[in-house]
Chain A
Amino acid sequence: MSLHKFANPARFVRLSSPLLPWLWISTALLLGVGLVLALFVAPADYQQGESVRIMYVHVPAAWMSMFVYSVMAVASAVALVWRHPLADLTAKASAPIGAAFTVLALATGSLWGQPMWGTWWVWDARLTSVLVLLFLYLGYMALWQAFDDPQKAGRATAVLTLVGAINVPIIKFSVDWWNTLHQPATVSSLSGPSLPASMLIPLLLMAVGFMTFFSALLIIRIQREIIARKIRTLQMLQANPEAAAVTAASAEPS
């Protein structure tokens, strides 16, 4: 591992840093306006009452839980094919955020389920597949921690993510199939596809706000990873000065 590999990540830091304030401002605006609209302006559901407002956090969180995994899958494919150092970092930095969104989706869903269905948890197809998705995130993070060498960890987790990405639709399909065998259509009435605009607008605002929030967090985490790897490289070079001299000499012409 030599420092010249970080030329590209350095450019990423330079380009992404000016974006950060804008992302934070738009996150604050979108989530602020979205929450005000969702909590005070949007009408209460005629069946579900005020508790329908959980939807404005729950649904974007659930969307993000899947979106982040697809970001990781694309990043992993790029990392495996082109060995682009940033792709590794993107996948690694995304995983805890995605896991957090998944936990948020499960927790809000559970809080919503208690007043609506009278139970905290149902072995519903959707709930089960989101729970499995959480396990995939946790497995990804655990596998990353198990390796000492970040390059190896990056490739191993990339293989795992791609295997998971192929499996997610299969798991989803099998869980749907399993559930329809046992209890047909208990909760499919949750969200009708045709929401009135007074509910759809805050929902979309929240969803875009979650997205910018994710982007801001992702940029910060990638920058932090880049710095951590630089420190690691420097420490390794310090621990082994001869290798440092060789690397410095070989890095000179390039």
Chain B
Amino acid sequence: MAPFFQVVRRDLRLALRQGGSGTLVVIFFVLTVTLFPLGIGPEPMILARIASGVIWVAALLAAMLSLDRLFQADFEDGSLELLALSPMSLEMTVLAKTIAHWLTTGVPLIIASPLLALLLGFDSGGYGVLLLAMVLGTPALSFVGGIGAALTVSIRRGGVLVSLLVLPLYIPILIFGVSAVEASVTGLGARPQLLILAALFLFSGVLAPIASAAALRLNLE
């Protein structure tokens, strides 16, 4: 397990020393959410109604935009090839890198989401479930998005392509993330949705690294 944590630590250190990565994602997240009141109008009733959906969609887009940092830099400077040659399987390397990616981009999104919920006048009863749903959902976003990032790692200007590949796969996470929050606000109890989100998280955590590693391998040839 030591090499695994080495990779996680290395990616975290790189992200911290480069600076700004997580901050930029959060700024994008906040900015996107800010556009909604401007576009829809400042009526508190409407904003409170759409708050959970807006936050989830913005989190989805922010997570997607941060995907290019997952493998791109390591691919370009060649360190990804060295990582692929190391005794640890590429699947585990991908898992480690994805976890580091989630820690530097997903966690800031989770921390920022209650603040945005407050700005949109979100029902105070739903904060706990919103946070819990984000905690379960954002790692799944990183795992599933990792497949798109790995597939397009050797393609220049792959950003738009990644969105076309990844966003359809994000739909289940969006649906259950939003409906968990809605269910808790309307008093129905969010347990089934949260369980499904947890299932999506675990399922993607097991299978996505395999697909991502396969995609990286063909790009490294």
CB contacts under 8 Å to B, within A123-176, are 132, 135-136, 138-139, 142-143, 146-147, 152, 155-156, 159-160, 162-164, 166-167, 170-171, 173-175
Neighbouring B residues of A132 by C-beta, 8 Å: 168, 171
* Chain A residues within an 8 Å CB radius of B214: 80, 155, 159
- Identify which of residues 48-76 in chain B touch chain A, using a CB-to-CB cut-off of 8 Å: none
A175-B175 CB under 8 A given contacts A142-B164, A146-B158, A152-B219: yes
Closest Cβ of chain A to B180, distance in Å, is: 11
Which residue of the partner chain B has the closest CB to A166? B207
The proximity string for A residues 166-198 relative to B, scoring 1 for CB distances below 8 Å and 0 otherwise, is 110011011101100100000000000000000
Stretch in contact with the other chain, from B94-102, B110-118, B129-137, B147-155: B147-155
Across the interface, do A159 and B158 meet the contact criterion of CB distance under 8 Å? Answer: no
Which of chain B's residues have a CB closer than 8 A to the CB of A170?
Answer: 172, 200
What is the CA–CA distance of A171 and B144 in the complex, to the nearest angstrom?
13
> Does B107 lie at the interface of the complex (its beta carbon under 8 Å from any beta carbon of A)?
no
Which residues of B sit under 8 angstroms from A164, Cβ to Cβ? Answer: 168-169
Interchain CB contact under 8 A, A143 and B165: yes
Known: A159-B214, A163-B211. A178 touches B179 (CB 8 A): yes
Knowing A142-B161, A174-B175, A178-B175 are in contact, say whether A156-B168 is a contact too (CB < 8 A): no
Closest chain A residue to B157, Cβ basis: A146
Chain B's interface: helix, strand, loop or mixed, by majority?
helix
Closest chain B CB from A87 CB (angstroms): 15
Closest to A153 in B: B218
Within 8 A of A (CB), among B196-221: 200, 207, 211, 214-215, 218-219, 221
Asked whether, in the complex, the Cβ of A135 is within 8 Å of the Cβ of B164, the reply is yes
In the bound complex, residues from chain B placing their C-beta under 8 Å from that of A167 are 168-169, 172
Residue B176 at the chain A interface, CB threshold 8 Å: yes
Docked-complex contact B165 and A160, CB < 8 angstroms: yes
With CB as the reference atom, state the residue of chain A lying closest to B179: A181
Are the C-beta atoms of B211 and A159 separated by less than 8 Å?
yes
> In the complex, what residues of A have CB within 8 A of residue B179's CB?
177-178, 181
User: With A143-B152, A147-B155, A152-B219 known to touch, is A175 a contact of B171 (CB < 8 Å)?
Assistant: yes
Which of these, A80, A139, A173, A177, contacts B165 with CB under 8 Å? A139
* Smallest Cβ-Cβ distance to A179: which chain B residue: B175
Q: How far is the CB of A154 from chain B (nearest CB, A)?
A: 9
CB distance from B185 to the nearest CB of A (A): 13
Main secondary structure of the interface of A (DSSP, over half): helix
| Distance between Cα atoms of A138 and B165 in the complex (Å) | 9
Q: Which of B151, B207, B211 has the most CB of A within 10 A?
A: B151
Do B151 and A160 touch (CB < 8 A)? yes
A217: min CB distance to chain B, Å: 24
CA A45 to CA B163, docked complex, whole Å: 43
**Complex Cα gap A146–B156 (Å):** 9
Residues of A contacting B207 in the complex (Cβ-Cβ under 8 angstroms) = 166
Contact B151 A156, beta carbon cutoff 8 Å: yes
Q: State which of B151, B176, B215 has its C-beta within 8 Å of the C-beta of A174.
A: B176
Determine the chain A residues whose CB is within 8 A of the CB of B172 once the complex forms: 167, 170-171, 173-174
Contacts of A138 in B (CB 8 A): 164
Q: Which of A146, A166, A177, A178 contacts B161 (CB 8 A)?
A: A146
Shortest CB distance A127–B (Å) = 14
CA distance A143 to B218 in the complex (A): 14
**A139 near B168 (CB under 8 angstroms)?**
yes
B residues in contact (CB < 8 Å) with A: 147, 151-152, 154-155, 158, 161, 164-165, 167-169, 171-172, 175-176, 179, 182, 200, 207, 211, 214-215, 218-219, 221
A–B Cβ pairs within 8 angstroms, 19 of them? A135-B164, A135-B168, A139-B168, A142-B165, A143-B165, A146-B158, A147-B155, A152-B154, A152-B221, A159-B147, A160-B147, A160-B165, A163-B169, A164-B168, A167-B168, A171-B171, A171-B172, A174-B171, A174-B172
A-B pairs, 3 with minimum CB distance: A174-B172, A155-B218, A178-B175
**Interface contacts beyond A80-B214, A159-B211, A164-B168: sample of 19 additional A-B pairs, CB < 8 Å, sorted by A:** A142-B161, A143-B161, A147-B155, A152-B218, A152-B221, A156-B151, A156-B219, A159-B151, A160-B147, A160-B151, A162-B211, A163-B211, A167-B168, A167-B172, A170-B172, A174-B176, A175-B171, A177-B179, A178-B179
